[in-house]
Chains A and B, each alone.
Chain A
Amino acid sequence: MAGTASGGSRRSRLAPYLLVAPGILWLLVFFVAPIITLAQTSVAGTEGPWWDAYRRALSNYGVHFFRSGRYALSATLLALALGYPLAYFIAFRAGKLKNVLLGLVVLPFFTTFLVRTFAWKTILNDGGPAVWLLQQLHLLGEGGRLLDTTIAVVGGLTYNFLPFMILPIYVSLEKIDRRLVEAAEDLYSTPVGAFRKVVLPLSLPGVFAGSLLTFIPAAGDFINAQLLGSPNQQMIGTVIQNQFLEVRDYPLAASLSFVLMAVITLGVLAYARVLGTEELA
C-alpha cells in the first residue's frame, strides 16, 4: 500500500513535466535553437571583423528600420483611435448584439490575408473608387494617386492588425465593474470625467496588449509595403526576405533579422516600464 502511494505521488510530481515535454521540446528545437543559429549566422561572415554584417546592416538599411518603426507606430496609433470606440461600443452599448458584433470583428480575418490586401489594391487603384471619391471631394488633385503612397501602406497595416487591437481592449473593458462608473456619476463626475478617471485607466492593460499585438507584426510586415507601396515605402521585412531568399547574403540577412528582434524586444520592455504593467496576452 505504501509503495503505491509513494509511486502515485512520484508520478504526479513528474506528470506536469511529461505533459509539457512534447510541446516545449518542439519550441526549444524550432523556436529557441533557430534564434541561436540566427545569431551564429550573423557573425559568421568571412570578410572583416565579426560585427561586419551588423555594420553593413545598420549603415545600408538604417533608413528601412526607421521607416518600419514609423509606419508601425502610425498604424498602431490609428488602430487605437479606430479600435477603442468600437471595443467600447461592443462592451458597453451593444446589449444583445455583443456576441454577433464580436463575431463580425473577427469574420473578415477568415479570408486569406493576401487576398484581403489585394482587395485594398483594387479599392485604392488609379481610376478606382477611392481615388474617384476623393477627386469628387477635391481632396485629391487630377492625376493624384493613392496606390504606391505612404497612406496606402499605413492604411493597409492598420486594417490588417485592427482586430488585434480591438479584442484585448474589449476584454479589459468587459471586466470593468459597471458600479464603479455609476459611483463616479453619483459623485457628480461628468461622463467625460468618469471615462477619464475610471474607464480609461482600467482599460490600459488592454490598450497595452493591443498596441503590442499591433505594433510587432506591423513592424515586421512586408506584404502591405510590397503590394500597396512603391520601392520608396519598402520596409525592413522586404530587405530581410530579399537578402535571405534572393541575394543569399546570409550573415547580412541574419544580422538584419537579429537587429529587428532586439529593437522590438527593447521597445516592448521600455513600453512595459512606462505603462507599469507586465500583462502581455
Chain B
Amino acid sequence: MRRLGRWLMDGVAWLVLAYLFLPIFVIVLYSFNKPAGKFNFVWKSFSFEAWRNPFAYAPLVESMKLSLRVAALSTLVATVFGTLIALALTRYRFRGSSAVSLLLVLPLTTPEVVLGSSLLSLFLDLNTRTGFNTIVIAHIMFSVSYVALTVRARIRGFDWTLEEAAMDLGAPPFRVFFKVTLPIIAPGIVAAAMLAFALSLDDFIITLFNAGNRVTYPLYVYGARRAAFPPQINVLATAILLASLLALGATVLWQQRTLRQRGMGVTPLG
C-alpha cells in the first residue's frame, strides 16, 4: 500500500517533467524541419538548412539584435538599482522599509497587461512617442523588483562584521566595498542579473504596449504567425536555450568554487 502510493507519486512527478519538456523537444526537432510552405508547423523532412543559414531572415536578425540591446541595457540599470535596494533592506533598519518591500512586491502581483497598458497611458498622457527608450524604461521597471528580491534573499544572513573588521584594520571605505562587500554579494548579483536578462529577452505583453513600431524578438515571433514562420525562429530559440544552459552551468560551478574557497557548504540554486 505504502509502496504503491510512492510509485504513484514518483510516476506523476516523472510524467510532469516529461510534460515540461514536450514543447522544448518539438522546438528543437522543428529547427531541423524543411517545411513545405512558409509556416514551420507541419513536419516535412529532416534538414540542416536552417542551422546552416540561421541569419537568412534579416528582420528576424534585426529583432534579435534589438532584444539583446534592450536586455543588456535594462539589465545593467535594473541590477544596479535593485542591488542598492537589497543592500539598504538587509543592512539598515529604517523608517519606511516595509513600504519599500511592499512597493517591490506589488509589480509582481499586478497582471502584465495592466503594467503594460498603464505605462502606455502615462506615455500617451505625456505625449511621449513609444519606441526603444520606452521599451527599456518598461523593462527596467519590471526587472528592479526581481533583482532586489533575488539579491536580498541571497545576501540575508551574511556576516557583515567582516566589513567592520576590514575598516578596523584601516581599509578605506571604497577598498572595503571592492575587497569585502562586493565579493560577498557578487554571486547573488550575478544570479539576479541573469534572471533580469532572461525576463527582458522573453517579455512580450508589456513590450507589445510600449514598443511603438520597434520589433523585438518576441514581437517578431508574434507577427510571424501571419506572414511566415521560418525554422530559423526555432534555431534561434534553441540557441538561446543552449546559451542559458551554458551560463547556468558556468555560474553554478563558479559559485560552488567560491563557496568552497570560503569553506562554506554548497547551497542549492535558489
Assembled-state Cα–Cα distance A116/B233 (Å): 11
Question: Is there an interface contact between A31 and B106, defined as CB atoms closer than 8 Å?
Answer: yes
Is A6's CB within 8 Å of the partner chain B?
A: no
Are B114 and A257 interface neighbours, CB within 8 A?
yes
Residue numbers in A under 8 Å from B181 (CB-CB) = none
User: A27-69 toward B: CB 8 Å interface, digit per residue (1/0)?
Assistant: 1101111110110110000000000000000000000000000
* B227 CB, min distance to chain A CBs, angstroms: 14
**Residue of A86, A212, A253 ringed by the most chain B CB atoms within 10 A:** A86
Interface on chain B toward A: helix, strand, loop, or mixed SS? helix
> Which chain B residues lie closer than 8 Å to A261 at the CB level?
110-111, 114
A164 to B225, CA, bound (A): 27
Tell me the nearest residue of chain A to B222, going by C-beta.
A114
A234 to B: closest C-beta gap in Å: 13
| Residues on A with beta carbons closer than 8 Å to the beta carbon of B229 | 118
Band of interface residues on A: 35 or more
Chain B residues whose C-beta falls within 8 Å of the C-beta of A136 in the assembled complex: none
Closest to B194 in A: A110
By a CB distance below 8 angstroms, the chain A residues around B240 are 110-112
Q: Interface extent on B, as a size class?
A: 35 or more
Binds B, one of A100-108, A138-146, A176-184, A200-208: A100-108
- A24, A112, A216, A254: the one within 8 Å of B202 (CB): A112
Nearest Cβ on chain A to B100's Cβ, whole angstroms: 6
Contact across chains for A118 and B103 when beta carbons are under 8 A apart:
no
Residue pairs across A and B with CB atoms within 8 Å: the count is: 256
Please, which residues of chain B bring their CB within 8 A of the CB of A37? Answer: 118, 121-122, 125
- CB within 8 Å for A17 and B94 given contacts A237-B205, A253-B117, A280-B109: yes
CB proximity of B117 to chain A, nearest CB, Å:
5
A113 to B218, CA, bound (A): 8
* Residue among A98, A118, A241, A253 making CB contact with B268, cutoff 8 Å: A98
A222–B202 alpha-carbon span in the complex (Å):
15
Q: Is the CB of A112 within 8 A of B24?
A: no
Residues of the A chain whose Cβ atoms lie less than 8 Å from the Cβ of B26:
119, 122-123
Question: Which of B12, B19, B30, B222 is close to A119, meaning CB atoms less than 8 Å apart?
Answer: B30
Which of B82, B145, B198, B222 is A110 in contact with, Cβ under 8 Å?
B198
Looking at chain A's contact residues, is the secondary structure mostly helix, strand, loop, or mixed?
Answer: helix
B164 beta carbon closer than 8 Å to chain A: no
Residue from the list B10, B202, B252 in contact with A89, Cβ < 8 A: B10
Instruction: State whether B108 touches A240 (Cβ < 8 A).
Output: no
Shortest CB-to-CB span from A22 to chain B, Å, is: 5
B144 within 8 A of A: yes
How far in angstroms is the closest Cβ of chain B from A248? 9
Residues in B whose Cβ lies below 8 Å from that of A250: 121, 124
Q: Which of A28, A108, A167 makes the CB contact (< 8 A) with B24?
A: A108
Q: Which residues of A contact B225 (CB under 8 A)?
A: 118, 227
- C-alpha gap A41/B118 in the complex (Å): 9
Task: Determine how close the nearest CB of chain A comes to the CB of B72; give it in whole angstroms.
Answer: 17
Q: Does B245 contact A (CB under 8 A)?
A: yes
- Give the complex CA separation of A102 and B267 in angstroms: 13
From known contacts A111-B237, A112-B237, A116-B27, infer whether A27 and B107 are also in contact, taking CB-CB under 8 Å: yes
Question: Is B84 a contact of A86 with CB atoms below 8 Å?
Answer: no
| A163: chain B residues within 8 A (beta carbon) | 20
Contact A112 B20 (CB under 8 A): no
Chain B residue with Cβ nearest A120: B23
A220's partner among B89, B104, B111 (CB-CB below 8 A) is B111
A245 on the B face (CB < 8 A)? yes
Q: Which residue of B lies closest to A262 (CB)?
A: B114
Those of A240-281 within 8 Å (CB) of chain B: 240-241, 244-245, 250, 253-254, 257-258, 260-261, 264-265, 268, 280-281
Q: Which residues of A approach B to under 8 Å, CB–CB?
A: 12-13, 15-17, 19-20, 22-24, 26-28, 30-35, 37-38, 40-41, 82-83, 85-86, 88-90, 93, 98-99, 101-116, 118-123, 125, 127, 159, 162-163, 167, 171, 174, 191-192, 212-213, 216-217, 219-223, 227, 236-237, 240-241, 244-245, 250, 253-254, 257-258, 260-261, 264-265, 268, 280-281
Contacts beyond the supplied A107-B244, A254-B117: 17 A-B pairs with Cβ under 8 Å: A16-B91, A19-B92, A27-B145, A30-B137, A34-B122, A85-B16, A107-B24, A112-B218, A114-B221, A119-B26, A122-B30, A123-B22, A192-B5, A217-B111, A222-B113, A281-B105, A281-B149
